[in-house]
Structure 1
Amino acid sequence: MTPDQRTAAYAEAAKEFNRRAGRDTGSSVAEQFDRRLTLLQDLLYCRLHGDVQEVVGKDSMLMPVSELKTQLAAKTEMAIFEVAESRSAADELGIDTRPDDWFARWLARILLGAAVEAGALARLAEYEDQAPRERLLAFTDVLARVLPESRRAPLVLFNLFPLSVRIAASIALGDRVRAAAVRNEQLEMQPALGDCTVCRGQLLTTGKQCPECGNPVWKFNWLVAD
């Protein structure tokens, strides 16, 4: 998508969000969701693919025939899961997401493009009916099929990821207090994340990651630290 196309997409998304949610912040909301959730996809793929190979070695039996095709499939599944988690977070923040399931479809178009495939919508519908833990397990099962090396990643990485999505959603929707509370949940889950001398486990500005620990999707050595 070219910069002009992205600007036009944000403008169209902003109009729908403002109309549906009764707000006037749609442009910022759309851009924040896109930039923050896309970064999370990029970082999670890096952890599950590049970092796994670096730590445990490259297993030719697990490598995809076409890495580019596999990366696209994996990030598509990550985006679908992000939409489901963001919908849940938006519900908790008082956004009425349910009429016509508009919010999920709206965010899916931002992350996946205007023509969201029927299969993606079907998986979104499945996630909607699942409790958070069940939804996470279903997500990790899907990832294991499209990205087999993800089975070797630390379990805590998957437990932290939905919370990172909820932080992104909270900030996009203008509630940094809620975002900070969710970050505290992550620090309680893995206290070592607060020991980074660069970011100290704090929330980062849009589009940024910590070069030391990897915040908001942490490097393996920070996930297994005591």
Structure 2
Amino acid sequence: GKSRSLGDRIPVRQGMSGHDVKVLQDFLSRVGQKVKVDGEFGAGTTTAVKTFEKTNALDVDGLVDANDIAVLRGQAEAGRDAPEAEAPLALAPGDKAKVGPDGLAIAPENAPAEVKAILAAGNAIAKKPYIYGGGHGRWEDRGYDCSGSVSYTLYKAGLIEQSMASGGYMGSWPKSGTGAGKWVSIYANEGHMYMVVAGIRYDTSAFKSEGSRWSASMRPTKGYVVTHPNGL
């Protein structure tokens, strides 16, 4: 049948039609690609897919595979109710992220799709106000506290299903590993938490001093339990 979720058919390619194609086109339009949302994967959709792939350092083949979907979904959903995330995620060569002059993360080209999705989601709420309890009752909120901010990015990257308070990240949480990760390290204690993604810090305390949750500076890690998402 034609009523499929995006990801049910891999790859999604030119000549296909159906609900999953329509969702794909909607996501592409949300991240700034000009595409007709009609459920028909034609030449125009192929062009939009290739442009998106090139912008995000993905294989430029016009075939929408699982990796493409993960990056696209992260950016499209992060951009909902967050105009600053509608621009494509900026990329920098290599393995290290940077903080741009606008206070938003610039993703490393070599990062896995989930890391790029975390960075895109972090950009979406980087400048939203600190609100205690924010991000725990609903994902799209007026503001976010420290654990709500981190949970939001992990959820948008498909790594968790519900938000957790900082204490929840101190032990073994779903799909987690102990110690620092190669790409993502989450630091938590009973009173505060933050994370380091591809070498830059994502922290509500940075927002208070710098106007963005992203910061190129680190902070002392003593007193924090460090974990990471499995494989990252």
- What's the TM-score once normalised by structure 2's chain length? 0.27
Q: Which has the higher strand share?
A: 2
Q: Which has the higher helix share?
A: 1
Q: Which structure is richer in relative contact order (CA contacts within 8 A, separation 6 or more)?
A: 1
